[in-house]
Structure formats: C-alpha cells, structure tokens
Amino acid sequence: MSTDLPVLTAADFSSDQDIRWCPGCGDYSILAQMKKMLPNLGVPREKIVFVSGIGCSSRFPYYMNTYGMHSIHGRAPAFATGLKLARPDLQVWVITGDGDALSIGGNHLMHVIRRNVNLNIVLFNNRIYGLTKGQYSPTSPAGKRTKSTPYGSIDNPLNPLSLAVGCEATFVARSIDTYIKHLGATLERAAEHQGTSFVEVYQNCNVFNDGAWSYATDRNIKADHLLELEHGKPMIFGKNRDKGIRLNGMEPEVVELGKGVQEDDLLFHDEKATEPTLAYLLSRMRMDDGFPEPIGVLRSVEHPTYDDGVIAQMDEVTVQKGQGDLNALFRAGDTWEVEAQNT
Amino acid sequence: MSTTPQDTLHSDKDTESLSGATVRLAGDSGDGMQLVGSQLTNTSALAGNDVATFPDFPAEIRAPRGTRAGVSGFQLQFSSEDIFTPGDELDALVVMNPAAFVTNIGDLQDRGVLIANEDSFADKDLKLANLDRNPLESDDLKKYNLIKVPITSLTRTAVSEVKNAEGNTLGTKEADRCKNFFALGIICWLYGRNLEPTIRFLNDKFGKKRPDVAEANTLALKAGWNYGETAELFERNYQVQPAHLTPGTYTNVMGNQALAWGLVTAANLSNKELFYGSYPITPASPVLEELSNFKNYGVKTFQAEDEIAAICSAIGAAFGGSMALTGSSGPGIALKGEAMGLAMILELPMLILNVQRGGPSTGLPTKTEQSDLLQAMFGRNGESPLPVIAARSPSDCFDVAQEAWRISSRFMIPVIILSDGYIANGAEPWKIPDVAQLEKISISHPGPIEEGETFLPYSRNEDLARPWALPGTDTLMHRLGGLEKEDLTGNVSYDPDNHQHMTNIRQEKVDRIAHVIDPVEVSGPASGDLLVLSWGGTYGACITACRRAREDGMSVAHAHLRWLAPFPANLEEVLKQYKRVLIPELNMGQLSLLIRAKYLIDATQLNKVKGKPFKVSEILRRIREEIDLLK
C-alpha cells in the first residue's frame, strides 16, 4: 500500500443517493460495516466495483461511492466474472440475497465458486422474498407460512454454506447483521482472500420476516446458539463457555465441559484444512438439530484463481507462439495469387 | 514419395472445357464426406476457380448407419466465372450407399454423372435405406450417366500393402475408412483437379502420428484417379479454367472462421482486448473454438455455464472496457433476452451474434433458416430497439464483424449480428486484406474530471452516445443498472416524463445510425418492373436469379439489406421505383412484415423453411411469375 494515498473514511464511500431500504432493515448495518471496513484495505474507490442482481440487497451498489452495476436477477456472479476477467486490477464484490443467489441464480453461484474467480460474494440471507413483499425463499424453513405458502411451505430449505463448501469454495464464512465488529472483520478477511470468498450474513427483514434469526441475535440466548469459530481453537460455546463440540465417530455432538470432558477432547477448528470435510460438518450444524450455528471463517485455503489462470495461459501461449500477427494468420492456410489480367 | 503420372495430371482421354460444375458427395455421416468435400473445395480454389460450398449434415453425430437420417452431403460449385451460390442442379453426384442415393438423386440433372459405390448396395444396405430393390438396376437411371464403381473393394485392394508401426496390415475397418479418398480421386480425375494439395493435407494431418493412415489414404486417392483414367467407363474428363477474380492473394474461408477473424481484427483496429462469452451451440460453436486459439492476440474466451451467463459475462467485460461479445443460435438468444435488454439500457457497446438455424425450439440444429429476424428486432421485454446487421456470405462475415463493432462503439449500443448455418459452414475464396490498410476504429474513454465538475454518465454527444467511463478512472465513479435512468445523471428515476424521454432517446439512437451506414445499393435498372429485396445468406441466390432474369430480358433489379435495423435511409425511395417488390426469405415472411409495416408497400413474398437454402431456379421461377402478372 502506497503511503501517499489519501486516507479514506466510511463517509468517502457514501454515494449521493437516498437509501430506500425499510427503516430498521438489517441491510443498513451491512452497508455501514462495508463502508467502515473498506478504508482499511487501502484500495482506491475507483478500483472497487459492486455488482448485484435483483432484490432488496441488490440495491446496495447505488449507495456506494464506487463503480457499480445493478444487473438482472441471479446473474451478478456472471457479470462479475466477465468484469474480473477483463479487468483483473479491480476489486469486485457481488452483493446478493437468498432468492437471488440460491434460487434464480443458483447455477451461476455454483460455477463462480468452483472456478474460484478472485471476487467476494456477500449473501444477505433473510429467508424471505422482501422486494416482492413476502413470498418464501429457498432458505425459508419447511412449514413456513408466507403469502405464497398460506398453508406452510413444503420445500426443504437449502443451506448456503453447505452449497458453497460442496462447490469447493476456498473461502467460506458467516456473520450476522447486528454483530457489527464480527461482520466488519469477516468482510475484511473475505476481501483479503485470493479466490472466491463466500460470506453468508444473517440479515433481519423486519417487515416480512421479523425475528427469523432472533435465536442468533437475542442477547439473552444467542451465546447458546452460536459457535464463534477461531482457527486452531477448541470449539467452545455457551453463555458460560461450558459447552463444546466433540466428534463421535463421523458425527459431531454437543458435550458439557468438565464432568470428564476436557478441552483437548473437543474438535479444534482448522480453517486451513485441505479437505472440506470439517467445513461441511460445521455448515450442517443447525439450531433445530440441537447445535450452535457456527459464525466466522469455516474455510480459508489457498488455490489458484481462475483469473490468474486465464492470464497465465495467455502469457504462456504468447511466449510459445509470439505476439499474434493477423497478416500471418490470414495466410496460414493454403493461399493463391490472382494476377492482373489483360482484358 | 515417388512421382506418379497423376501428379502431373495428364489424362490420355479427351478433355472438355467447362465454365463450371456443381458436384455433391453424399454418404453416411461416418463416411467422411465433409472432409473430402472441403479438400475438393481447397483444391478447386487453388486452381483459381471461384467456389461456393454447401455442407449438409445431420444433427446426430452418428445417426444409425446406412439410414436416410444419417446421410451427410457436401455440395460444391466451382467455376471460371464469379459465382454466389453452391449451385442448384448437380452435374455430378457421388453416392456411397443407397440412403445417400435415394435422398440426393432428385437434385442430379439429366445426363449428369452418377457415381455409386456398388459394394454398398447389398440387400442389407437396401433394407437400412428402406428400399425393396436395388435402385441402380432401375431403368429410371438411364437418363443419367451412371457409373457403378466397387469403391469399397477397390479401396481395400489399394491399401492392402500398407503396414502400420507394428508391421501389420490395416484391418478391414481402417481400410474402409479410406474409401472417401478413393471417391475424391475419381472426382479429381473427372474435373482435372490436382491431387497434390490433398496429399499434402494427408501428410500434414497424419504424417507424423500415423504415417500408415496418410499412406493408405494417399494410395486410395491415387487409385481413384487411376480408376477414372483407365476404366472404360468415362468417355472424357473436364477442365474448368481459373475465374477472373480481382487480383490479390486469396485463401478459402468458412463463414464462422471469417467472423472470428473479423472480430479479432476489429479488436486490433480499435486497440481493444476481445472478450467472447459463449456457450456451445450448433452452429455457432466454431466461433468459440476458433477464438479460443487466439490467446496470443489478447483474446479472452469464456465458456460460460449457460447462455445467460455467457452474455452477462460479456456485459461485465464491456463495463470493464473490453470489446465484448456473446454468440449463440436462436434458442440461446432466447435465453439471453433479458440480459440484452439490460445491455441496451446500460448503453454499453457490445456485440451479440446469432448464427441462425432451423427453429422453432430446438428445431433443425444443423440446417439453415432466417427465422430469427423478428427475434432480433423484438425479442426483449419493453421498448428495447437494437441495431441489427446481417452477413450475406462466408467472407462477408469478416467485414460485418468490423462494421458492427464500429457502430456499436461509436453509438454506445449493443449490435446484433445475424449469420446463419449456411453462411457459417459454407466456404468461398477471400481476398486477404492488408491489415495496415484497414480503417482504424477510434474509441475514447473520459479521463478524470477537475474538482467542482460533475460527471454525468448519461450525458450525450452528437451521436447521442454517452461516455464510456471505465472502472479504475478516478472521480468518474458511477452506478449502472436495469432500472430506468434519469437523463444525464443515470440515477434511478421513476419520473413519467423522464421514462418517455429516455425511451425516445434510445430509439432515436438506433434511427440515427441510418445516416452513417451505406445507402442500399441496387444492381440492375434503377427503376422498373420488379425489385427483389433480400437480406442475409440468400444474397447469392437472389443476385444470381436477378442477373439471369435480366439476361432473359426482364426488368428486374436486386437490392440487398446489410442493416435490418435501422433500414438504410434511402430504402423507401428505392422501393418506390418499382412496380412490384419481391422479398424471398428462408422464413415465413419476417422482413416482408417489417417492410410492409414501415413503408406501407404491398411487397410480395417467397418463403421456404425446409432447412435448405434457395435454389437460384426457385427464385427465377417466381420472378417470371411476378413479371407475367405485370403483363
């Protein structure tokens, strides 16, 4: 980072547009943490691009004083991939929601992750369609009553982190809209990662799905429902930090510390594990099944990025074949001369 | 390799001079007809003839062997005069099996040469083609010059001495794979074609890895030639003199190849990196394949996960400052509709290529049609006009690619390029340009502004183009999106008058292109009885039919549209100079609909959707009828 760059503040990242999310929406907090975090990176504003799809969260780029594109429903990863391939010098963020990323855009999400394009995806998960006023989403729990499921949803919900790990994401993390320090730190880790960073943020829609995450945000009970991951540390949680996660065969189990269970008996978090097995196991832990839900970085491993690979291959071919010459290309096959004729 | 008599092309039989010939090689889709067809094309082009080709193959990679569905054909016209089509009726037809016979014999003219591989007309072969008896025995064939050749057994004999690296002779299957070159050898003898280019091709392709395969095919080729020379079946052979083409260096190009080359050239002329986001689809895939070779030309190809991602990646690259395009065929273009609308409202330059095929739905993937014109014009939600340009021939694709990018980047608007399967797979001689002599495409991007100034991403120049400000430029940070834009600022706006204004401007932008493109040119009388108006790949058939009509004394002119949106500024004036206007199209009347609606002209139509191009005779017949109506 060059020292003569002007020091930016959160305010420098605010665009002149009025924010139109509902008062009390969790999106405000995510926006605030993003603006607060970005100056830490030392990346000039003009080198940052926010790309979004459609939905409440996807209005995000309009509120950032960076470059931005509010694209079409579900396709933000595809725009971002093309942009990053064209301009590897840019820092590219994809802002998306549970409907945008996991329903209409599921295909693109899968492919951007498996390619490991060097960009950052932040998925605002509010478990509802907000912009269209309250239909169930791919992360709504089974049985959820919404405008389009008056008798309860029959669908099995999709787990965003399990999907990301299944696509062999190189960076997978989760945070919560109101857990602001944690959120800022998680976004910063995502920005620093080389490759596709995937961050799920539990986000409250106070109009159409208020309290969907209250078990993880209510200060009286959240400690029993959240497992804050730290690399190399045993998995301990609970208000009194007296509970832990232990592996029983292939299955995790919740155990109480003391009573014959030592810290060393617990699972230790290893975000750098080459195999995605541990990250997958963590992603599967759900409150409904009696587990705390992990937040923080589940997985962060190094792997060559797609954009680097594309450039490297171009360079390699250029070294092998030399800079392309159109006049030579056109004459590479059989050619023949037509002479001027006397008529 | 030893010199044999046929290298010097001396035939001891009588040689008759022809102005040109139309030949079709037809066999099973595994018989290698496309391969020998393109060899014959190359050889004829190298002999200085003008050539035009029409490869016609099934959608299945290996349709059931020996069936009518599996027939693959390659038609070629070579001529000492300049030609625009692969020909109507065949002067010579090679059929490798009964299915090829039955599906192609209708196109052979009376007294034409019919060469049949009689080894493959056994009962089981006839059954596969749903024939009760051997058609080669029929009296109906007396009108043709039928020559039955045991191609399979002669090929086996010709290659019997060839040994592979292990010292073994070729198996029957491998030997039989050479029979297409035996057939090519006969045709080369018949039309005095040089064997050398084909022998060179075989050595280049197989010489290193499988010298036995190169040798066997070369022997089969020569055996075919010798057979023509020595068997007492052919009375004479023919010669076709070189065509009087414009002086210069020529090579043979196929449409998709010329398009890819034109795109790389356009990127070069505009000093841009080319980004191609695409998803494999027939018949557009060769563009992706060809461009993926050009990494040392700064070309980035991205094989996306689907059609939608393909265009979206291209829009992302366009935002980043690349010369971006996506390419597909009709079904893929349908999927791209929403994103095309976005690209239009973003007012970013990019190209959208549709190599049309037979529709609707999956339709006829390997066959040609012009039925996506209205899709190109209107296949998006809302008021979303886009310019549309169409290539007229394989080599024209090279120029169209450049012209499309010239307009797109100047007007900051996505441009749709229409090609079709006939152009994409067809080949013709192309006079190689000197790249240094091609007109540069100048593109500029705004730089940072001074303090106190405001950047307006939707301000406009005299072409109504907005500035192409690139991410990475300080002080120009702005947000684009699919919601309606406020004039000048580009901010989201729901204002009713603004929406009307922006809608008008986006249409006006397309309309103004009419003033910078070439006016439509007319060949033939400037006014008269009939104007034939064509677009896209039917150019060759239409211009040829009109020439013949004029030779027969009819007052017939031809005009060909390169731009379908906007129409050239002088089109209305031109249309009104003729008593009747005939619009032949390989669809059910899509251009006719547009012309009638826009100019209130009672244009008459000639339509065909059989997956095949027009024959010149089909258009000529209709021209006669139209002229007769005026009498």
Is B425 within 8 Å of B255 (Cβ atoms)? yes
pTM equals 0.94
Q: Please, which contacts does B285-294 make with residues 24 or more away whose CB atoms are closer than 8 Å?
A: B286/B254, B286/B256, B286/B257, B286/B260, B286/B424, B287/B256, B287/B259, B287/B260, B287/B263, B287/B327, B287/B353, B287/B355, B288/B327, B290/B256, B290/B257, B290/B260, B290/B261, B291/B260, B291/B263, B291/B264, B294/A324, B294/B260, B294/B264
Kindly state whether residue A293 falls inside one of the protein's structural domains.
yes
**Cα A167 to Cα A113: distance, rounded to the nearest angstrom:** 6
| A340 interfacial to chain B (CB closer than 8 Å) | yes
Q: Are residues A238 and A228 in the same domain?
A: no
Q: Are residues A135 and A262 in the same domain?
A: no
Q: What is the mean pLDDT of residues A163-178?
A: 98
Q: What value does the mean pLDDT of chain A take? A: 96
**Cα A180 to Cα A41: distance, rounded to the nearest angstrom:** 18
Out of A89, A111, A327, the one facing B472 most closely (by C-beta) is: A89
Q: Are residues A126 and A242 in the same domain?
A: no
Give how far the C-alpha of residue B334 lies from the chain's centroid of Cα atoms, to the nearest Å.
21
Residues ≥6 apart with Cβ < 8 Å to B452: none
Domain that holds residue A168: 10-232+271-308
SS3 of B550, please?
Answer: helix
Q: Are residues B337 and B207 in the same domain?
A: no
Interface of A with B in 216-275 (CB under 8 A): none
Domain count, chain A: 2
Domain that holds residue B548: 522-629
Token pair listed for A305: 């990025």
**Cα B538 to Cα B89: distance, rounded to the nearest angstrom:** 17
pLDDT for the residue numbered B200: 95
pLDDT for the residue numbered B10: 67
ipTM: 0.97
Is B278 within 8 Å of B328 (Cβ atoms)? yes
B553: left (phi over 0), alpha (psi -120 to 50) or beta: left
**Cα B367 to Cα B282: distance, rounded to the nearest angstrom:** 9
Kindly state whether residue B460 falls inside one of the protein's structural domains.
no
Out of B251, B294, B491, the one facing A335 most closely (by C-beta) is: B251
**Cα B567 to Cα B388: distance, rounded to the nearest angstrom:** 9
Q: Are residues A240 and A262 in the same domain?
A: yes
Q: Which residues of chain B have pLDDT under 50?
A: 1-8
**Cα B182 to Cα B156: distance, rounded to the nearest angstrom:** 10
Token pair listed for B193: 């074609």
Q: Are residues A226 and A263 in the same domain?
A: no
Q: Are residues A216 and A290 in the same domain?
A: yes
Cross-chain Cβ contact A81/B297 below 8 Å: no
B244 contact residues in A (CB cutoff 8 A): 341, 343
Kindly state whether residue A80 falls inside one of the protein's structural domains.
yes
Q: Taken in order A13, A14, A19, A22, is the CA torsion positive or negative?
A: positive
Q: Are residues B16 and B56 in the same domain?
A: yes
**Cα B91 to Cα B99: distance, rounded to the nearest angstrom:** 20
Any idea which residue has 């301000």 for tokens?
B459
Q: Are residues A285 and A208 in the same domain?
A: yes
| A86 interfacial to chain B (CB closer than 8 Å) | yes
Domain count, chain B: 3
Chain B's closest residue to A50, CA to CA, is B479
Q: Are residues B111 and B136 in the same domain?
A: yes
Go through chain B and tell me how many residues it has: 631
The DSSP element (H or E) to which A5 belongs, if any, is none
> Does position A1 have pLDDT exceeding 50, yes or no?
no
Confidence at A6, pLDDT banded by 50, 70, 90? confident
The DSSP element (H or E) to which A306 belongs, if any, is helix A306-321
Confidence at A4, pLDDT banded by 50, 70, 90? low
Q: Are residues A155 and A262 in the same domain?
A: no
B316 contact residues in A (CB cutoff 8 A): 51, 69, 78-86
SS3 of A78, please?
Answer: helix
Phi, then psi, of B377 in degrees rounded to 5: -70, -40
pLDDT for the residue numbered A220: 93
Is B68 within 8 Å of B28 (Cβ atoms)? no
A310 contact residues in B (CB cutoff 8 A): 300
pLDDT digits (tens, 9 = 90+) for A45-66: 999 999 999 999 999 999 999 9
- In the 8-state DSSP scheme, what is residue A258? B
- Higher-confidence residue of A4 and B270: namely B270
Interface of B with A in 293-312 (CB under 8 A): 294-298, 300, 302, 304-306, 308-310, 312
**B488: which strand partners?**
B458
Sheet holding B522-523, edge to edge: B522-523, B556-561, B528-535, B578-585, B604-607
Give how far the C-alpha of residue A245 lies from the chain's centroid of Cα atoms, to the nearest Å.
25
- In the 8-state DSSP scheme, what is residue A234? B
Largest CA distance in chain B: 92
Out of B316, B472, B480, the one facing A81 most closely (by C-beta) is: B316
pLDDT digits (tens, 9 = 90+) for B438-466: 999 999 999 999 999 999 999 999 999 99
Interface of A with B in 11-30 (CB under 8 A): 15, 17
Kindly state whether residue A173 falls inside one of the protein's structural domains.
yes
Kindly state whether residue A342 falls inside one of the protein's structural domains.
no
Q: Are residues B229 and B263 in the same domain?
A: no
Q: Are residues B214 and B314 in the same domain?
A: no
Q: Are residues A167 and A279 in the same domain?
A: yes
SS3 of B483, please?
Answer: coil
Q: Decide which of B174, B206, B240 is a domain's last residue.
A: B240
Kindly state whether residue A343 falls inside one of the protein's structural domains.
no
CB atoms within 10 A of CB B485: 24
Cross-chain Cβ contact B477/A66 below 8 Å: yes
Q: Decide which of B240, B263, B283 is a domain's last residue.
A: B240
CATH number at residue A176: 3.40.50.970
B211 upstream amide cis, omega within 30 of 0: no
Q: Are residues A172 and A258 in the same domain?
A: no
Q: Are residues B191 and B269 in the same domain?
A: no
Q: Are residues A45 and A116 in the same domain?
A: yes
CATH number at residue B622: 3.40.50.920
**Cα B537 to Cα B370: distance, rounded to the nearest angstrom:** 8
Is A278 within 8 Å of A270 (Cβ atoms)? yes
Is B483 within 8 Å of B492 (Cβ atoms)? yes
> Does position A3 have pLDDT exceeding 60, yes or no?
no
CATH number at residue B179: 3.40.920.10
Q: Is B118 exposed, middle or buried (0-12, 13-18, 19+ CB in 10 A)?
A: middle
Token pair listed for B517: 């493109």
Q: Are residues B233 and B272 in the same domain?
A: no
> How far off is chain B from A145, nearest CA to CA, in Å?
31
Is A96 within 8 Å of A57 (Cβ atoms)? yes
Q: Decide which of B410, B437, B464 is a domain's last residue.
A: B437
Any idea which residue has 């171009």 for tokens?
A314
Cross-chain Cβ contact A72/B306 below 8 Å: no
**Cα B264 to Cα B290: distance, rounded to the nearest angstrom:** 10
B interface test, pick of A15, A38, A79 with most B CB neighbours within 10 Å: A79
pLDDT digits (tens, 9 = 90+) for B499-508: 999 999 999 9
